[in-house]
Amino acid sequence: MRGERPQVTTNSPDAPAGGRTSVEAALKPASGAQRAARETVFELRNVSVFYGRQKAVNDVSMDIYRNTITALIGPSGCGKSTLLRSLNRMNDLIPGARVEGKVLYQGADVYSPQVNPVQVRKKIGMVFQRPNPFPKSIYDNVAFGPRTVGMKGDMDEIVERALRGAALWDDVKDRLKDNAYGMSGGQQQRLCIARAIATEPDVILMDEPCSALDPVSTGRIEDLMLQLKQRFTIVVVTHNMQQAARVSDMTAFLMVQVGADEHSRWGELVEYDETNKIFTNPSDERTDNYISGRIG
Ligand code: ADP
């Protein structure tokens, strides 16, 4: 018998007008034609990630699709952030971190010695858990990336486009020279999103982008994510299952596995499917137990 699932609501643009509805009613599975039309952006093949001798993620294989939001969910320590960081070589910045297997981005091996990690991170931007603006003006925060990579074009226009893209322009257009530290937490996080999209990446990785925000700011970021997926591919780590159900198209559920010696633990992908399927009719009993709150 299935356990009680949390009452999950959605703010999907496909949801009927007049308010939020239950996830079962609102999240329509993609049709066969939509599935066939999806373009693969990342192919992960047998990806394992180690910190020193400790394996943190074991043998993950999955594809990530263009203009979708893919959520990575699972209990704390199951390797969600580690897996996310493997997509744009952010783990390279952690001493002792090592990736095995293949991460292909548009068919090219992200970890090939010929590939410059800085170029990878330009294409695959990142937004972190805590808003981390620079101690600079709002304008200079957004202009920082484009200036660093020598982007061509009128900087005022680039900054305005990024701020509009992050639904922040109307809030800040009259105070672009003010220090970013004067903004609210939610505005700072949208500024970090503006900063991430200013260099026109292809993919945005988000590591628990709302965990430091209040519910209203969280709702604004979720609405923004739904807009941004029209232009970008988004992969988001979230510990909030309702959030995964509200915003994502695809959901990957990871769990901690304990080794035979009971000392070693690593994260494994249990199930990856359309979000609707994961939340209404998962194939694996462990997924069902997790989303119905029977295991944390
Ligand atoms: P999650 O995002 O699911 O909470 P993480 O990816 O943060 O999980 O962590 C997965 C495992 O890797 C955990 O056991 C964690 O302690 C370990 N880990 C994460 N970051 C580091 C690091 N920088 N150095 C060593 N171990 C790490």
Residues with CB under 6 A from ligand 1: 51, 56, 74, 76-82, 94, 237, 267
Query: What's the pLDDT score for residue 139?
Result: 98
Which stretches of the chain are DSSP H helices? 23-26, 32-37, 80-86, 117-123, 138-148, 155-165, 169-172, 185-198, 215-228, 241-247, 275-280, 285-291
Atom of ligand 1 nearest to the CA of 85: 6
Query: What is d(CA 250, CA 270) in angstroms, rounded to the nearest whole number?
Result: 14
Element (H, E) at 126: strand 124-127
Query: What is d(CA 33, CA 24) in angstroms, rounded to the nearest whole number?
Result: 21
CA of 82 to the centre of ligand 1 (A): 6
pLDDT tens-digit series, residues 158-198: 999 999 999 999 999 999 999 999 999 999 999 999 999 99
Query: What's the pLDDT score for residue 27?
Result: 45
Residue 128 CB-density burial (10 A; 0-12 exposed, 13-18 middle, 19+ buried): middle
Query: What's the pLDDT score for residue 5?
Result: 52
Query: What's the pLDDT score for residue 64?
Result: 98
Other Cβ atoms within 10 Å of 19 Cβ, number: 8
Task: Mark the ranges of the chain whose per-residue pLDDT is less than 50.
Answer: 1-4, 6-27
Tokens 């079962």 appear where? Answer: 24
Q: Does residue 109 sit in helix, strand or coil?
A: strand
Cα–Cα distances in Å, from 194 out to 12, 161, 237, 245?
22, 9, 19, 24
Query: What is d(CA 279, CA 19) in angstroms, rounded to the nearest whole number?
Result: 20
CA of 136 to the centre of ligand 1 (A): 31
Query: What is d(CA 286, CA 295) in angstroms, rounded to the nearest whole number?
Result: 8
Contact 97/50 with Cβ under 8 angstroms?
Answer: yes
Residue type at position 289? N
Contact 99/58 with Cβ under 8 angstroms?
Answer: no
pLDDT tens-digit series, residues 187-241: 999 999 999 999 999 999 999 999 999 999 999 999 999 999 999 999 999 999 9
Selection from 29, 27, 24 nearest residue 14 by Cα: 27
Contact 232/201 with Cβ under 8 angstroms?
Answer: yes
Cα–Cα distances in Å, from 128 out to 64, 83, 177, 205, 208?
20, 14, 24, 8, 7
Kindly report the backbone phi and psi dihedral angles of residue 69, in degrees, each rounded to the nearest multiple of 5, phi listed first: -105, 120
pTM: 0.88
Ligand 1, atom 23, lies closest to the CA of 94
Contact 87/108 with Cβ under 8 angstroms?
Answer: no
Among 50, 51, 78, 85, name the best residue to mutate to test ligand 1's pocket (greatest count of ligand atoms within 8 A of Cβ): 51
Q: What residue ranges define each of the domains in the chain, with the CATH number in brackets? A: 39-291 (3.40.50.300)
Query: What's the pLDDT score for residue 269?
Result: 98
